[in-house]
Chains A and B, each alone.
Chain A
Amino acid sequence: MDILGELQTIVREYTGDSGLCVHTETTLTAGLGLDSYDLVMLLCTLEERFALEIPDRAAAQMVTAGDLADYLEKHKGI
């Protein structure tokens, strides 16, 4: 499964919405139906899942699911 697919699985699990579709252009808050608290919790889950740490400044620059997936792709397993 590609990173975006994994992201979709994790977000579906987090939100309990099994029909939620995540595309590269989906915005991280409104598009995923998350508020900024949820987003923080989601990032915590992703950090554990991908065994990495997302710096606050990098997180602040992410707007879409594509941005997040790109970051995970570049930094996973480093």
Chain B
Amino acid sequence: MLTEEINVRTIPALLDFCQTRYGSRCAFRWRAGAEIHDVTYQQFAGQVRTLAAYIAAQTARDDRIALVGGNSYRWLLGWFAVVCAGRVSVPIDPQLPTGDILALLAKSGASLLLHAAEFGDVAAAAPRAMDLERLPVEGEADGWPCAVQPEDLGAIVFTSGTTGVPKGVLLTHWNFMADALSGCRCMDLAGHTMLAVLPFHHTLSLTPGMLAQLPGGSTVCICGGMRQLTKDLAAFQPEYTVAVPLLAEGMYRKIWDTAQKEGKEKLLRVLLRCSDALLRLGIDLRRKLFKSVLDACGGLKWMLVGGAPLSAECADGFLRFGLEVLPAYGVSECAPGVALNRSGACKSQSVGQVLDCCRVKIVDGEIWVKGDNVSQGYYQDEAATQEAFTQDGWHKTGDLGLLDADGYLYITGRRKNLIVLRNGKNVSPEGLEQKLTELPCVQEALVYQEGDEIVAELYLDTEERPDAEAQFVAALAQLNRQLPAYQRITKHKLRDAEFPKTTTKKIIRK
């Protein structure tokens, strides 16, 4: 754990610090087929400088520059170069359909798009685009192209608005660094190997998954995506990762599925009972007893999990095997970390203790956050900013919670109308309802979450259209094709009467 005070308040200053402190140490590692690539802290800082100089020569100060692509070393180089050149990065979710990506480019006013090769169709429609793989990174650039201040904007991160219109969260260099350094002070992140599996456009991946790893000189192994996970765990043998519940719970379920298929479920349960008894006597043999289970998880020792509520069964179950799963809480508006469970002091039902870069208070049940990591508001959206931020800098998260006597935060519900899925994705039900009610056969629609599914409940126009249901089924299949995978409506229910409504004729939500 980092115990010294590190005074870096911008991202270029972080790279300077890391280059001086850890020059020849491996900063990033990734796999291309069977080949493993390494880049040292010195090489990384040099490549970012070269690319930052190139980007600075092509664009103006404070220009917005968007990035789209799957996880790759080139994506990271591009992002660091943009922010170190004093430009504002706009990381875009690569899972979005082309039309949505182009809408975000237009909304952010991005003058340039840096893209992975497979986004050629987006690039063709963008005002200006460059392929990440073709950007120059070799050469000698002296210093940074311009001075970057802590209060300078580093990123506009788009997040699902409750009305379906994405909001651009404004995050400064200091928002990112305050959150990252706070994470370093309460987690053992120094000199280890971590696997970066979450998509880089997400703040959970950018800050705890990336920026917080660098001050302690850890090695970040880049996982090309969930489908590469098993191979990358085996290749890199990381000590920890940052994940979403879908991933942690999927891995946990796989352990038991495998045990069942191999007829070892009973044996595993017996071993767990023995291990629990030994632990009560102060004898910890978990990493020996469950070696094969832990090896299947790449030898991970711990996992930070955020983005959505994690089942206590998964956290507690993994702990019995000797793998600590630490629930955390954050929102993009806080860059994103607000609270996390510390190793050895985890309360699995909670999301941990509040980070030291911010304060939390509960107002009428809602979690409010104030501190160095908290955004100043939303890009060109004064109304949404005023709604979600107070004049004196508190962010109203829209999540309901409570703090216990030990300072652990518990999430108890949501004030804002938003679907939060186990993969950490947020979906606006109102955005989907609007799309549904635009269908001619639909009179009224209500969208909500059941488990991890998005469900639409509908009142169809069966008087005018006797075959309304068949029409709807066909239209829904068409609509789902236009939506990103995580927003698709997987179940629908029909009503034979209108929805009950408020006096202002709004449907009463469940």
Contact = CB atoms under 8 A, between A and B. Distances in A.
Interface residues of B, number: 29
B115 to A, nearest CB: 12
B118 A57 contact: yes
Q: Which 5 A-B pairs have the closest CB atoms?
A: A37-B250, A30-B490, A40-B226, A63-B480, A60-B485
Interface in B418-454: 422-423, 452-453
B488 A47 contact: no
A37 B249 contact: yes
Nearest to A47: B227
Interface string A50-78: 00000111011101100000000000000
B480 A60 contact: no
A35 interface: yes
A36 B485 contact: yes
A56 B95 CA distance: 8
A47 B250 CA distance: 19
Contacts of A44: 227, 230
Nearest to A44: B227
Nearest to A40: B226
A57 B94 contact: yes
Interface in B249-280: 249-250, 253-254, 261
Interface string B232-264: 000000000000001101100110000001000
Scoring A16, A27, A43 by chain B CB atoms within 10 A of each residue's CB, the highest score goes to A27
Interface in B448-488: 452-453, 477, 480-481, 484-486, 488
Do most interface residues of chain A lie in helix, strand or loop, or is the interface mixed? helix
A63 B250 contact: no
Interface string A26-41: 0101100001111011
27 contacts: A25-B477, A27-B490, A29-B453, A30-B453, A30-B490, A30-B491, A36-B423, A36-B452, A36-B485, A36-B486, A37-B226, A37-B247, A37-B249, A37-B250, A37-B253, A40-B226, A40-B227, A43-B227, A44-B230, A47-B227, A55-B118, A56-B70, A56-B227, A57-B118, A59-B485, A60-B485, A63-B481
Number of contact residues on A: which range applies? 20 to 34
Nearest to B452: A35
Contacts, number: 54
A72 to B, nearest CB: 15
B417 to A, nearest CB: 22
Contacts of A25: 477
Given A37-B250, A40-B226, A56-B225, A61 B94 contact: no
A63 B226 CA distance: 18
Contacts of B230: 44
B33 to A, nearest CB: 11
Nearest to B247: A37
A36 B246 contact: yes
A61 B121 CA distance: 15
Nearest to B451: A35
Contacts of A56: 70, 94-95, 118, 225, 227
Given A27-B490, A37-B247, A40-B226, A60 B452 contact: no
B126 to A, nearest CB: 16
Contacts of A64: 477
A53 B481 CA distance: 21
Contacts of A35: 246, 250, 422, 452
Nearest to A67: B481
Nearest to B486: A36
Interface string B81-125: 000000000000011000000000000000000000011000000
B32 to A, nearest CB: 12
Contacts of A30: 453, 490-491
A12 to B, nearest CB: 13
A61 B486 CA distance: 11
A64 B481 CA distance: 9
Nearest to A31: B490
